Amino acid sequence: MGYATFWDGNKYIQCRRMLDRSLRCEAAGTSMQPSLKNVLTADRLIRLAALGWVLDPSFGNHVQVFSADLPTGRAADHIVQTLSEAYAANTEDLDVKTSWVADTPCPPRNGPSQNLAGIVNDAPSMRATALHTCFYTPPAARPQTASSAQELVAIYGASTTAEIQRLRINATRRVYAVFDAGIGYIQCMPEVPPVAVYCEAQSVETWAALTTVLTPERVGRLRAAGYADPGRAPNYSKSYPFEKFKDAAIASEILTILHEVYGYTGATKLKTTTE
């Protein structure tokens, strides 16, 4: 199977033709290259999604499939645009390589933290550290704790903003995101019309254990943030019109509420469930 790889440093996109002649491309992710977290900031993850790339959990790369009838030149232009706008790559001096790798269900890939980690590659120089698997799970990271809402936003702001962006892009579809702190959650979904993100913050009615957490003072903070009391739903609720709220602002408020209302400090990793 033939592969074409375009890269600048460790910022890459690798493509291959599928049996139906469509072009499947993978753009580098942070699961196998944690250093890319400094490149794929919240704004760039948003741009990546806007350009049509979708996170593939198998190796943590971002995937896009171009139809078989799309001219190759247009696909190439889109790849260059992605490397430039989402990865800040130097597209004037890209490295390009083509290679042939045996067509197997799980071809070898450069191992984590290796040069161009995650690309399909059977080069002899990389075989000692290559992955021969169909799925990669990064080692469990120690949770980062936050002593303030600002610190929590610094830890989870980028990933939470990216999820809100996903809801915005798919505003007419049945999608959702749940941000579960273990001691309480906030769940969000698109709402139309008007175009908005509708969020619910967990209440005592849905989990009695929150009786000791949601003190009158903390419930007051929820109300001050604009959340309505249970009634329309069994949880506290608020709509964030997209015309008034930027994705990062919604994400910041969600994380602030988790910290200041539910007492979440990041001692356990924030669990995000999506559809």
So what's the pLDDT on residue 61? Answer: 97
Q: What is the mean pLDDT of the chain?
A: 93
Same-domain pairing of 160 and 261: yes
Same-domain pairing of 80 and 157: no
Model pLDDT for residues 194-252, shown as the tens digit of each residue: 789 999 999 999 999 999 999 999 999 999 999 999 998 999 999 999 999 999 999 99
Please state, in angstroms and rounded to a whole number, the distance separating the CA atoms of residues 243 and 136. 39
Is 120 within the bounds of a domain? Answer: no
Which phi and psi (to 5°) does residue 229 adopt?
Answer: -65, 160
Find out whether 210 and 202 touch, Cβ atoms under 8 Å.
yes
Please state, in angstroms and rounded to a whole number, the distance separating the CA atoms of residues 160 and 166. 10
Is 236 within the bounds of a domain? Answer: yes
Is 63 within the bounds of a domain? Answer: yes
Same-domain pairing of 25 and 92: yes
- Residue 34 reports pLDDT greater than 90: no
> Final residue of a domain: which of 100, 131, 164?
100
Q: Which residue has the tokens 């889109």?
A: 78
Domain of 167, CATH number, reads: 3.30.1460
- Residue 240, classified by CB atoms within 10 Å of its CB into exposed (0-12), middle (13-18) or buried (19+), is buried
Is 88 within the bounds of a domain? Answer: yes
Same-domain pairing of 166 and 91: no
Provide the pLDDT confidence category of residue 74 given band limits of 50, 70 and 90: very high
Same-domain pairing of 191 and 262: yes
So what's the pLDDT on residue 144? Answer: 83
Model pLDDT for residues 76-86, shown as the tens digit of each residue: 999 999 999 99
- Residue 270 reports pLDDT greater than 80: yes
Is 134 within the bounds of a domain? Answer: no
Average pLDDT over residues 29-54: 91
Please state, in angstroms and rounded to a whole number, the distance separating the CA atoms of residues 78 and 73. 9
Same-domain pairing of 89 and 158: no
Question: Which of 20-32 are b and which e, b meaning 16 or more Cβ less than 10 Å from the residue's Cβ?
Answer: eeebebbbbbbbb
Provide the pLDDT confidence category of residue 166 given band limits of 50, 70 and 90: confident
10-14, 111-115, 188-192, range with the lowest pLDDT: 111-115
Please state, in angstroms and rounded to a whole number, the distance separating the CA atoms of residues 167 and 174. 9
- Give the strand pairing for 95-100 and 61-66: unpaired
pTM assigned to the model: 0.56
Is 142 within the bounds of a domain? Answer: no
Is 140 within the bounds of a domain? Answer: no
Domain of 24, CATH number, reads: 3.30.70
Find out whether 143 and 269 touch, Cβ atoms under 8 Å.
yes
Is 262 within the bounds of a domain? Answer: yes
Same-domain pairing of 68 and 179: no
Same-domain pairing of 156 and 85: no
So what's the pLDDT on residue 170? Answer: 82
Element (H, E) at 184: none
Tokens matching residue 269: 């990793």
Tally of CA atoms within 13 A in the half-sphere of 162 that contains its CB: 20
In the chain, how many domains are there? 2
Model pLDDT for residues 117-160, shown as the tens digit of each residue: 999 999 998 888 899 999 998 877 667 899 999 999 999 998 89
So what's the pLDDT on residue 33? Answer: 87
* Cis bond upstream, residue 193 (ω within 30): yes
Provide the pLDDT confidence category of residue 68 given band limits of 50, 70 and 90: very high
Same-domain pairing of 179 and 70: no
Structural domain harbouring 44: 2-100
Find out whether 45 and 156 touch, Cβ atoms under 8 Å.
no
Same-domain pairing of 69 and 160: no
Q: Which residue has the tokens 């749940």?
A: 178
Same-domain pairing of 246 and 170: yes
Same-domain pairing of 177 and 267: yes
Please state, in angstroms and rounded to a whole number, the distance separating the CA atoms of residues 30 and 14. 15
So what's the pLDDT on residue 113? Answer: 66
